[in-house]
């Protein structure tokens, strides 16, 4: 039997992730959730983002909004420092960076117990290897600016590139980045802050009309099977586990041999493509799932070890 670990979840040809910074834009978040709900109703496509939160920015009112958004599956959460006023670089004593990285995790985990908080976005511009080395001790990835599409196997995990929303960018600029992601079968990541009706730029704002048009454009490409939307955190969990894992087949057993020691990755399922013209029944941890066959391929989800009936 021939089988392999798929490059992306559900064997998607390319993936796209929305990442939102700071966590403090109340109106913009309400608007985004309403738009995601509308698109889900109309197109059947579930868009999802990762919001990197600055601990001290989260008022009780914001916390309530985020808890509901997380529960409904529109967002998951990453770390973005305690105060935002810290440079993750050699300008800051390394003990202070350590303290910030760990306190951010602890505080966000308390606010959102269901969340892994496995990824980080460095606040502000200050970032270098000193900061990256600390982040690497506590998080699986760090998102920065950079404008490029990312490619599995070539990703610097502590400097994951993203396309930055800016007021002077029009719909075409955003759609072009999605097209580039699709054309090159890469991982596109977008960085957003405020989504607004205003016309002056604050914190890399995106205008509402361009965001609406972009999201519809993306949903249509998803429905054409060209790309899959996964949150930044989900993408990191999948890609990091996949790059540390090899697949073994022995008789009827599929085993994922993983060097992934990070506890965040243990329960992450990988998509396995198995050559088979007939559906397969696979049991893992007492749960049996029947996976259909399409064009001679069965796509199964395995966490560590499955048995084929």
One residue of 7, 21, 105, 308 binding Zn ion per CB under 5 A: 21
In the window 86-115, what residues touch Zn ion (CB under 5 A)? none
CB 269, CB 276: distance < 8 Å? no
Q: What angle do CA 270, 271, 272 make, to 5 degrees?
A: 110
Q: What angle do CA 60, 120, 126 make, to 5 degrees?
A: 105
- Output the smallest distance, CB 264 to Zn ion, in A: 23
In the window 109-148, what residues touch Zn ion (CB under 5 A)? 123
- Output the smallest distance, CB 193 to Zn ion, in A: 7
The CA distance from 154 to 30, in Å, is: 36
3-state secondary structure (DSSP) of residue 236: helix
Residue 22 in contact with Zn ion, rule: CB under 5 A: yes
The sheet with strand 245-250 has its strands ordered as 245-250, 253-258, 305-308, 280-284, 287-291
- Output the smallest distance, CB 147 to Zn ion, in A: 17
In the window 181-220, what residues touch Zn ion (CB under 5 A)? none
In the window 44-73, what residues touch Zn ion (CB under 5 A)? none
- Output the smallest distance, CB 146 to Zn ion, in A: 15
Q: Which is nearer to Zn ion, 25 or 36 (CB)?
A: 25
What are the respective helix, strand and coil percentages of the chain, to the nearest 5? Answer: 35, 30, 40
Contact window for Zn ion (CB under 5 A) among 19-27, 58-66, 248-256, 293-301? 19-27
Q: Which is nearer to Zn ion, 21 or 233 (CB)?
A: 21
Instruction: Catalog residues that contact Zn ion under the rule CB under 5 A.
Output: 21-22, 123
């Amino acid at each position: 039997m021939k089988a392999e670990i798929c490059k992306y979840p559900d064997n998607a040809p390319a993936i796209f992730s929305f990442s939102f910074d700071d966590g403090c834009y109340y109106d913009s978040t309400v608007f985004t959730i309403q738009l995601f709900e509308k698109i889900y109703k109309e197109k059947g496509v579930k868009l999802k983002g990762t919001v990197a939160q600055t601990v001290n920015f989260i008022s009780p009112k914001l916390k309530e909004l985020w808890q509901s958004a997380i529960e409904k599956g529109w967002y998951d959460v990453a770390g973005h420092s305690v105060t935002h006023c810290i440079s993750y670089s050699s300008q800051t004593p390394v003990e202070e960076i350590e303290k910030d990285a760990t306190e951010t995790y602890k505080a966000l985990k308390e606010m959102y117990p269901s969340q892994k908080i496995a990824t980080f976005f460095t606040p502000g511009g200050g970032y270098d290897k000193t900061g990256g080395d600390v982040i690497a001790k506590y998080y699986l990835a760090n998102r920065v600016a950079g404008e490029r599409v990312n490619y599995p196997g070539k990703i610097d995990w502590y400097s994951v590139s993203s396309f930055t929303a800016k007021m002077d960018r029009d719909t075409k600029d955003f759609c072009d980045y999605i097209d580039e992601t699709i054309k090159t079968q890469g991982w596109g990541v977008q960085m957003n802050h405020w989504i607004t009706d205003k016309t002056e730029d604050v914190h890399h704002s995106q205008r509402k009309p361009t965001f609406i048009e972009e999201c519809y454009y993306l949903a249509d490409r998803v429905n054409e099977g060209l790309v899959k939307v996964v949150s930044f955190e989900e993408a990191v969990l999948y890609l990091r586990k996949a790059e540390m894992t090899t697949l073994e087949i022995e008789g009827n057993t599929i085993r994922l041999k993983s060097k992934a020691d990070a506890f965040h990755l243990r329960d992450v399922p990988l998509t396995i493509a198995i050559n088979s013209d007939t559906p397969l029944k696979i049991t893992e941890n007492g749960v049996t799932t029947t996976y259909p066959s399409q064009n001679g391929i069965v796509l199964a989800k395995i966490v560590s070890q499955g048995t084929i009936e």
